Structure 1
Amino acid sequence: MPAQTVDSNRDHGYARYKLDGCRCYTCSWAVSQYNTARDRAMAYGTWQPFVNADPVRQHLKNLQACGLGLRRIADAARTDRKRLQAILTGRPERGTGPQQQVRPELAEAILSVQPTIELLGPATPVASIGTHRRLQALIFAGWPQHHLAVALDMTDGNFGALLDRPQVLARTALAVRGLYDKLWRQDPRENGVGKQAYSRSRNHAAARGWAPVGAWDDDTIDDPATEPDFGGKQSRAEALAEDALWLIERHGYTRQTAAERLGVTRHAVDQAISRAQPDKKITAQRVKTPPKCGEARMYRIHLARGENCYECRGANAAADRRYRLTGTRKTAA
């Protein structure tokens, strides 16, 4: 007997078998797989075809309160908008009220949707506190407002107004977040900002009590209840030493370039580090030059490469002799 075919827009599978009466191989196989899985789950006592819809309904209401529409929620949950409507208000055209139970898979998909700014429409108004904090931190780091306005494709007047608005559009908040992620590690003076503009921006931010980048955590910068962390009872010297050592050890700065990056003198950095680490003697930092042929330190590099350089080998032998006689491999100054 040939398989029954039905005119339907539904994809072939379990739903088409049950609702449209299609008995093709694909639909029959889907029903067979479903029944096998159901029987196994029932045998093990894990069969749970439905879950309570109340938590799902409340989550949908919370998402709507955050400005998300049902269509965007449905797209994020990879389901149909009408299924969400059935959970919230029912289907009046069918004379049914809100669903009391839903499939576990649908519940899990809906509950996994979180009210992030990426899901909002571009023109949706959002709180501006995170946007303000990011821009203020960049200005504190030495980025002039004009540079930031150009990067955001704004006029200087619009940028100034942005810093005073209680709300911004979602697309503006996302643009500022992207700019912050791009610029917060960079030195403005190495990216076209002059020394006067750099100092002016830092002084402008400091005079208004704006917080620097280091005072915020990425996961709490948008939280209105979060206060900037200026280091608590840590002294200015301790904070300076901590910041300078972080730049030196993590990013390869010298003390001089770290001092310039932090907007202080080299002497202030030396003094702060000596107080923070009294057991370490301050020594002048030298820029190491790469080894050249004819030097003892180049000999090991040749060995690692499998090369045989007689000149470096002789220099290494001479350094070994010098060490046995004087206790050092260095040549006399």
Structure 2
Amino acid sequence: MDRRSDRNTIDDKKQAVGSSSVIPGSNLLNRNRNVSEMLADLPKPPAWHELGICRQFDPEIFYPSHYGPTQTADAKKVCAGCDVRAVCLQWALDNNDQHGVLGGTTPRESESHGQGGCGMTCQCGRPAHARGRCARCYAQLRARQTAYGRWEPSYTDAQPVREHLLALRAAGIGNRKVRELTVIAPSTIQAILYGRPARGNPPARKVLRNTAARVLAIPVPVSKVPCLRGGRVVPALGSVRRLQALAANGYSQRELWSRLGWPSPQNATQMFAGRVENITVVRAQQVTVLFSQLQMVPGTDRNARARAKAKGWLPPLAWDEDRIDDPTYTPELVDKPRTAEDVFSDFEYLLSMGVGVEDASRRVGLLPASVKRRYERHGRRCPAALTAVARQQRKTAS
């Protein structure tokens, strides 16, 4: 189903077969890593690899786009005259290799394919079904390897992936954005969500494990603002909270409206009072930028600060920027507010006790990106683990 992602793996391994330092079929190359890291991870090839006759042929024939009799005939003829064919087949079975023609067999051979080419039959005499084994022997091998912890199925349940895609769509991330983030074909996404109605196929029940990992790695944003185009309309709650927080920080409504460059200052009162339900994405982004600029810069308007206090508007530091757009989020208010040093102390203590960065951030009531920003604002050295997690989340969301 996911031919594109599957094809990427195959292309990598085509290059690997032609190299004397790579085991045929090993899936170790990653285009996003530098050469030194790749060479450091490559295992030493076994002795039998040097004896493989496949080294004298173009690797292309061992990794066809389809595993039909015609496409695999040449590869099987080469394997038929190889002295280490049995060893290569056993290696493919032990390592659960699901790509290429290895040991004269394809990953999933039907009986007709097994009887063609090299004339493969199982050790028990039955026609080969997969990797030179009949269906019964192959199932026994898979069960044994699973018990040893050496078998991981190529496919997994598609339902969690489908639910995650629907959650992303509800948050404003459509198929085009998912494709940019995961390099997954739109037809694959459609097959997971709706199946292929033209062919009469229902939504996919299974999906490649690699595809599932890519989709589930995309975080579901709380706010739709970063994901939508400028003319779209979004809830105004996050913008209202930001403007109220800036007012509590000492900025008047007129000044904020002037900084935003919006006409009709008469509407400012409606906005600050929370009586505006929706706002365009462009304006929401403008408010977010202004909030980032002024949240740590105290204003000079005492009347604005007193009015905000009377109305119960919270200052900027009371809000978690990553959750301020969430309508279900309510800041935890205490009589004695926790200082930044309290947060740093608790966070670093949790890290020293072996708690992960994401769990430690959640326990102090923030997200990793918010904790990192607080370290930067107070001139504190940010823990390396926190920097790595925040950078990865920012790269995934961008």
- Residue 284 of structure 2 is matched in structure 1 by 173
| Inter-partner Cα distance in structure 2 for 1:106 and 1:95 | 23
| Inter-partner Cα distance in structure 1 for 2:215 and 2:91 | 23
Deviates more, 1:221-230 or 1:80-89: 221-230
- Residue 320 of structure 2 is matched in structure 1 by 217
C-alpha distance 121-105 of structure 1, shift in aligned 2 (>3 A): farther
| Inter-partner Cα distance in structure 2 for 1:175 and 1:37 | 59
Paired amino acid for 2:324 = I
Give the drift of 1:182: 1.4
Paired amino acid for 2:237 = I
1:269-327, Cα deviation, whole Å (9 max, x unpaired): xxxxxxxxxxxxxxxxxxxxxxxxxxxxxxxxxxxxxxxxxxxxxxxxxxxxxxxxxxx
Give the TM-score of the pair, scaled to structure 1.
0.53
- Residue 306 of structure 2 is matched in structure 1 by 203
1:150-196, Cα deviation, whole Å (9 max, x unpaired): 3323122454444331222333333322221211111334xxxxxxx
| Inter-partner Cα distance in structure 2 for 1:129 and 1:172 | 12
- Residue 160 of structure 2 is matched in structure 1 by 55
Whether the 8 Å CA contact 2:250–2:305 is kept in 1: the answer is yes
Give the TM-score of the pair, scaled to structure 2.
0.45
Whether the 8 Å CA contact 1:14–1:27 is kept in 2: the answer is no
C-alpha distance 109-219 of structure 1, shift in aligned 2 (>3 A): same
- Residue 169 of structure 2 is matched in structure 1 by 64
- Residue 17 of structure 2 is matched in structure 1 by none
Q: Select which of 39, 46, 61 maps to 2:151.
A: 46
Task: Within 5 Å, give how 1:85-100 maps onto structure 2.
Answer: 85-100=190-205
| Inter-partner Cα distance in structure 2 for 1:138 and 1:12 | 49
1:214-261, Cα deviation, whole Å (9 max, x unpaired): 3323344333333344433x4xxxx7xx98x99xxxxxxxxxxxxxxx
- Residue 302 of structure 1 is matched in structure 2 by none
Report how many residues are paired. Answer: 213
Structure having the higher Rg: 1
C-alpha distance 131-98 of structure 1, shift in aligned 2 (>3 A): same
Secondary structure of the residue that 1:188 maps to in structure 2?
A: coil
5+ unaligned residues in a row in structure 2: which ranges?
1-6, 14-56, 65-74, 76-88, 97-144, 342-398
| Inter-partner Cα distance in structure 2 for 1:61 and 1:153 | 37
Secondary structure of the residue that 2:176 maps to in structure 1?
A: helix
Give the drift of 1:25: 4.9
Give the drift of 1:137: 0.8
Q: Select which of 244, 247, 269 maps to 1:136.
A: 244
1:35-77, Cα deviation, whole Å (9 max, x unpaired): 9996553277234211111111122222233343222233233
| Inter-partner Cα distance in structure 1 for 2:91 and 2:211 | 18
- Residue 105 of structure 1 is matched in structure 2 by 210
What is the alpha-carbon root mean square deviation over aligned residues? Answer: 3.7
Whether the 8 Å CA contact 1:152–1:176 is kept in 2: the answer is yes
Secondary structure of the residue that 2:95 maps to in structure 1?
A: helix
Q: Select which of 123, 146, 154 maps to 2:262.
A: 154
Whether the 8 Å CA contact 1:90–1:96 is kept in 2: the answer is yes
- 1:231 is aligned to 2:334: yes
- 1:183 is aligned to 2:294: yes
Paired amino acid for 2:296 = R
- Residue 352 of structure 2 is matched in structure 1 by none
Give the drift of 1:106: 0.8
| Inter-partner Cα distance in structure 2 for 1:159 and 1:36 | 74
Paired amino acid for 2:95 = A
Paired amino acid for 1:105 = N
C-alpha distance 87-173 of structure 1, shift in aligned 2 (>3 A): same
| Inter-partner Cα distance in structure 2 for 1:47 and 1:126 | 43
Give the drift of 1:78: 2.5
| Inter-partner Cα distance in structure 1 for 2:94 and 2:159 | 28
Whether the 8 Å CA contact 1:41–1:47 is kept in 2: the answer is no
Give the drift of 1:80: 2.0
Q: List structure 1 segments (4+ residues) > 6 angstroms apart after TM superposition.
A: none
| Inter-partner Cα distance in structure 2 for 1:214 and 1:75 | 34
Secondary structure of the residue that 1:168 maps to in structure 2?
A: strand
Give the drift of 1:30: 5.8
What is the aligned-residue identity percentage?
27
Secondary structure of the residue that 1:102 maps to in structure 2?
A: strand
Whether the 8 Å CA contact 1:12–1:26 is kept in 2: the answer is no
Whether the 8 Å CA contact 2:172–2:227 is kept in 1: the answer is no
Task: Within 5 Å, give how 1:280-291 maps onto structure 2.
Answer: none
C-alpha distance 12-209 of structure 1, shift in aligned 2 (>3 A): closer
Paired amino acid for 1:73 = V
Give the drift of 1:99: 1.3
Paired amino acid for 1:178 = V
